Structures are given as structure tokens and as C-alpha cells.
Amino acid sequence: QVQLVESGGGLVQAGGSLRLSCATSGLTFSWFGMGWFRQAPGKEREFVASVSKSGTSTIVADSVKGRFTISRDNAKNTVYLQMNSLKPEDTGVYYCAAGWSFNLRSPSQYNYWGQGTQVTCSS
């Protein structure tokens, strides 16, 4: 069965950094574009970043551009989200997702999801 397991979340002060990981199993990882989404309390799930199947192409949301970087290691079946210069508005549950293409910005376009990891940034 397909599993996506996020890790690396936590509590950090504004300006700090975190690196999220999403380990996958049960799927052919290199066949999937991967994405990160986040959801703050009372808000809809929003797109954060996406990486192509090979890892050569990435795209990030305007709200995190210049601060967040997405990458993947196909040998380890893992996708990462490096988050620098964190702000309180980055607080939320972060989810990784697998989809059949790249640059998919709607949650409904993804086939598999992890359970999420909490990121809290205090001012």
C-alpha cells in the first residue's frame, strides 16, 4: 500500500529554518511529481511547492519564493522542503503529495497524501 510519511516539523522562532522530509513507499517514486501543501487553522489547504519527476524542475508559491526550496532524492524515494527565514504566517500543517504530473497546484490533482507534520513559527 502507498505510504507518504512527513517528518521534520516543529516549533521555530521567526527567521529560523526547518527541513521537512517525506519518505514514500509502495509506489514507483520516479513516476510521480511531488508537491508540498500547507493548511493553517480555519483556512483552505494551499500549494507551497512542486518538483518534477526527475527533480530538474521546481516551482514554489509566490508567498515562499526565495525562502523555501523543494528537492527530491529518487534513490531514497524522498522529497524535501527546506524552509528558511520562517515567518509566523508560515505556521500550519504541512503535507506532501504525489501526483501524475508536475506543477499541480490544486489538492484535487494529487493522488496520494501524507498525514502531515506541524510547523509552528513564533514571533
53 vs 27: CA distance, rounded Å: 13
Averaged pLDDT score across all residues of the chain? 97
How confident is the model over 37-85, as pLDDT tens digits? 999 999 999 999 999 999 999 999 999 999 999 999 999 999 999 999 9
- Other C-beta atoms closer than 10 Å to the C-beta of 13 total 10
Q: What is the pLDDT of residue 103?
A: 84
